[in-house]
Chains A and B, each alone.
Chain A
Amino acid sequence: MSRIDTLFAQLRSEHRKALMPFITAGDPDLEFTTAVLRELISRGASLCELGIPYSDPIADGPVIQASYTRALARKVKLAQILEMLAGVAPEVSAPIVTMVSYAIVHRHGLEKYVADAQRAGAAGAIVPDLLVEESGDFAKICRKADFSLVQLVTPTTPRDRALKIADGSTGFLYYVSVTGITGERKQLPQSLIDNVGWLREQTPLPICIGFGISQPQHVRQLAPVADGLIVGSAVVRRIAEASQKPREAVLKEAGDYVASLIAALPPA
């Protein structure tokens, strides 16, 4: 059981749902990332996704793209990100999962990535450009290390393929709510609830919904059918203000925002 498995087992037994914010490592610097992780987890985030900045992120919309660009402009390196993580992970209650391009994992070395990220305290990885067909070697290494490898299902995924992806995923299954890139949406597709509901009956794996989620009403609407909700761009957009505003204020705003989404989760 990885730390993520333990977390969802506990949440399910308590009939609770997870709220999972995404933040970009090193935006605008690693010191602030540490502070944001501590703040969001202390405000009740059950899990955090830590985005490893990548130069060519094709699944990301303008907000997350720009955060990667800001972080890379300061030449943040993977080794520094993992060092930062090692400093904060033991002190916080929530598991942290890295969101990382396969370009980075491959260059670092598959086994070395798992070993180094795990040593730093990461509980798993989401590799958005590693399809289930290409994930065999990496999945084997992750399984051996009990390091969760979270796979993604999207609205364009046929149902039989969704089952295959669920089989290959560990920790949880990431259900992408929309056909598109990351970024806030006013409305989410109607079919989403049916599709996630169907998939949840097929697999014991926890399912978290991400992409487009930004408002308490999204949380109220989707939380009943999922095990958790992921919110990215709306958090990153608030953190982006750290270059213009006092950092304390930005921290509080991001914390308040995440707390408002958590308050919209159904009561246990």
Chain B
Amino acid sequence: MPATSHVPDRAGRFGAFGGRYVPETLTRALDELAAEYEKARIDKGFEAELDDLLHNYVGRPSPLYHAKRLSQECGGAQIYLKREDLNHTGAHKINNTLGQALLTIRMGKKRVIAETGAGQHGVATATACARFGLECVVYMGEEDIRRQQPNVFSMRLLGAEVRPVASGSRTLRDAINEAMRDWMSSVETTHYILGSVVGPHPFPMIVRDFQSVIGRETIEQSRRQIGRLPDMVVACVGGGSNAAGMFYPFIEERGVELLGVEAGGRSARSGDHASPLSFGQPGVLHGSYSYVMQDDDGQTCDVHSVSAGLDYPGVGPEHSYWKDTGRATYTSCRDLEALAAFHTLARTEGILPALESSHAVAKAIELAPGRSPDDAIVVCLSGRGDKDAAEIARLTAEKSAG
């Protein structure tokens, strides 16, 4: 069966994927969230308030920028960048946190928790909480705190408490575990603003819907600027929220190729990458059924990526659905290719992309030369790279020393 945009069903299923695999304690809060969201999505007042915030606070619509020098250097298809990096807080994450902050207020909750990997979702949550006067606690793995220091400072300056997570691999996966544990005890007064299209129903649907503004704007801008829809849309995939927001409005536009780029890390060996769609199999993690990196006992594998935001063993269930229906294609890009793309985009266009987004840029750079100059590729530039500057300097020094 071809993919449809009429998913998930009431049980939160995207085909076989998704659902809800969580402790009973969380069921009532998830049901309340689903019910509140159903009310909000048909409430004109909610829509107007969110639109106003996206326009006047975030700065939307974000531009669709024709990267002419990059396209020329590649010598093939025209590359366009959807500039989510120009949003307030520097990434697409704010689209979702503002929407969920409004839901938090509608549910009468005053405290918010969140997980973060690269820190972009943490900053976007801290920002939304400051804007609405909500208490904010962000869980972040110790390894990610080390490699994404600037975002840790920002979160604290915005009034959020950043709680370091020392368990497991001390990355995004462990931050989600800790946030879930907090929620197990605080669920009656606290909303968990999950940052990606992962987790139990209704999170994958809600986050996708709030991020879909990316794809909707891209369709409108493409028609206006290119005169038609692009031939291909490329986005990086960790949990997969920017990709889901970019792809979803294109699902019924069958002529547009959708390409998701996972973190290929150091090699294709297990433990060296974070590419569950490319190398994993369906299983259960963090409340939903989706592709995951796990061993033959069902234990989650350690994964690796140079980019903290993609360093995650699971992926949103709708991506699994798009993969299995063939509507989207998924590939992966190695650490070094992403780093090279970072430098290329900086040099040719004067744009520092986030290391996460650099994975998508790298794929476009690889594919553009094989295509006609009349082809258009849109890359979702999901975030800006300021947060990565110090880590990239360190890695570059390591490389030249090693």
Which listed segment binds B: A40-48, A114-122, A124-132? A124-132
Take A55-B299, A61-B181, A180-B185 as given contacts and tell me if A156 and B25 are in contact as well, using a CB distance cutoff of 8 Å. Answer: yes
B331 within 8 A of A: no
- The contact of B28 among A65, A129, A156, by CB within 8 Å, is A156
- The contact of B297 among A108, A129, A165, by CB within 8 Å, is A108
Contact with A along B155-177 (1 / 0, CB 8 A): 00000000000011000010001
Q: How far is the CB of B201 from chain A (nearest CB, A)?
A: 10
Take A107-B283, A181-B181 as given contacts and tell me if A157 and B24 are in contact as well, using a CB distance cutoff of 8 Å. Answer: yes
Q: How far is the CA of A165 from the CA of B188 in the complex (A)?
A: 21
Q: How far is the CA of A156 from the CA of B19 in the complex (A)?
A: 20
Contact with B along A142-161 (1 / 0, CB 8 A): 00000000011111111001
Tell me the total A-B contact number using a CB cutoff of 8 A: 113
- Whether A101 and B24, one on each chain, are in contact in the complex, defined by CB atoms closer than 8 angstroms, is no
Q: Could you jot down 24 A-B contacts, CB within 8 Å?
A: A56-B168, A59-B23, A69-B167, A78-B297, A107-B294, A107-B296, A107-B297, A107-B298, A129-B21, A131-B20, A131-B27, A134-B21, A152-B24, A154-B23, A156-B24, A156-B28, A156-B29, A156-B187, A157-B27, A157-B28, A161-B27, A179-B185, A179-B187, A181-B185
Q: How far is the CA of A133 from the CA of B296 in the complex (A)?
A: 26
- Whether A154 and B177, one on each chain, are in contact in the complex, defined by CB atoms closer than 8 angstroms, is no
Which of B29, B167, B184, B287 counts the most A-chain CB atoms under 10 A from its CB?
B184
- Whether B300 and A58, one on each chain, are in contact in the complex, defined by CB atoms closer than 8 angstroms, is no
Which A residues touch B167, using CB under 8 A? 65, 69
- The contact of A131 among B24, B286, B297, by CB within 8 Å, is B24
Which A residues touch B181, using CB under 8 A? 58-61, 181
The residue in chain B whose Cβ has the minimal distance to the Cβ of A157 is: B24
- Whether A179 and B25, one on each chain, are in contact in the complex, defined by CB atoms closer than 8 angstroms, is yes
Find residues 180-209 in chain A having any chain B CB closer than 8 Å to their own CB: 180-181
B364 within 8 A of A: no
Q: How far is the CA of A154 from the CA of B23 in the complex (A)?
A: 9
Q: How far is the CA of A161 from the CA of B32 in the complex (A)?
A: 14
A contacts with B, residue count (CB < 8 A): 42
Q: How far is the CB of A178 from chain B (nearest CB, A)?
A: 8
- Whether A102 and B20, one on each chain, are in contact in the complex, defined by CB atoms closer than 8 angstroms, is no
- The contact of A102 among B11, B21, B297, by CB within 8 Å, is B21
B180 within 8 A of A: yes
Q: How far is the CA of A264 from the CA of B287 in the complex (A)?
A: 38
Interface positions of B (Cβ within 8 A of A) = 11, 19-29, 167-168, 173, 177, 180-181, 184-185, 187-188, 283-287, 289, 294, 296-300
A54 within 8 A of B: yes
* Known A58-B180, A133-B11, A133-B20; further 16 A-B contacts with Cβ < 8 A: A58-B177, A65-B167, A78-B298, A102-B284, A103-B298, A103-B300, A104-B298, A107-B283, A129-B22, A129-B23, A156-B27, A156-B28, A156-B29, A157-B24, A180-B25, A181-B184
Q: How far is the CB of B25 from chain A (nearest CB, A)?
A: 4
The residue in chain A whose Cβ has the minimal distance to the Cβ of B181 is: A181
- Whether A156 and B188, one on each chain, are in contact in the complex, defined by CB atoms closer than 8 angstroms, is yes
- Whether B177 and A56, one on each chain, are in contact in the complex, defined by CB atoms closer than 8 angstroms, is yes
**A interface secondary structure, majority:** loop
- The contact of B284 among A103, A155, A157, by CB within 8 Å, is A103
- The contact of B20 among A57, A134, A155, by CB within 8 Å, is A134
Which A residues touch B27, using CB under 8 A? 131, 156-157, 161
Q: How far is the CA of A151 from the CA of B25 in the complex (A)?
A: 12
Take A55-B300, A58-B184, A158-B28 as given contacts and tell me if A103 and B23 are in contact as well, using a CB distance cutoff of 8 Å. Answer: no
A252 within 8 A of B: no
The residue in chain B whose Cβ has the minimal distance to the Cβ of A105 is: B298
Which B residues touch A61, using CB under 8 A? 181
Which A residues touch B285, using CB under 8 A? 56, 103
A220 within 8 A of B: no
Q: How far is the CB of A24 from chain B (nearest CB, A)?
A: 14
- Whether A129 and B299, one on each chain, are in contact in the complex, defined by CB atoms closer than 8 angstroms, is no
- Whether A176 and B24, one on each chain, are in contact in the complex, defined by CB atoms closer than 8 angstroms, is yes
The residue in chain A whose Cβ has the minimal distance to the Cβ of B169 is: A55
Take A102-B284, A103-B294 as given contacts and tell me if A59 and B25 are in contact as well, using a CB distance cutoff of 8 Å. Answer: yes
Q: How far is the CA of A59 from the CA of B23 in the complex (A)?
A: 7
Which A residues touch B184, using CB under 8 A? 58-59, 179-181
Take A58-B181, A156-B187, A181-B184 as given contacts and tell me if A106 and B298 are in contact as well, using a CB distance cutoff of 8 Å. Answer: yes
Which B residues touch A178, using CB under 8 A? 185
A72 within 8 A of B: yes
The residue in chain B whose Cβ has the minimal distance to the Cβ of A53 is: B299
Q: How far is the CA of A72 from the CA of B298 in the complex (A)?
A: 12
Q: How far is the CB of A75 from chain B (nearest CB, A)?
A: 9
Smallest CB-CB A-B distances: 5 pairs: A107-B298, A180-B185, A104-B298, A58-B180, A103-B284
Which B residues touch A154, using CB under 8 A? 23-25
Which A residues touch B20, using CB under 8 A? 131, 133-134
Take A103-B283, A104-B298 as given contacts and tell me if A55 and B25 are in contact as well, using a CB distance cutoff of 8 Å. Answer: no
Q: How far is the CA of A245 from the CA of B129 in the complex (A)?
A: 48
The residue in chain A whose Cβ has the minimal distance to the Cβ of B294 is: A107
Q: How far is the CB of B280 from chain A (nearest CB, A)?
A: 11
Q: How far is the CB of A130 from chain B (nearest CB, A)?
A: 7
Q: How far is the CA of A130 from the CA of B288 in the complex (A)?
A: 11
Which A residues touch B287, using CB under 8 A? 129
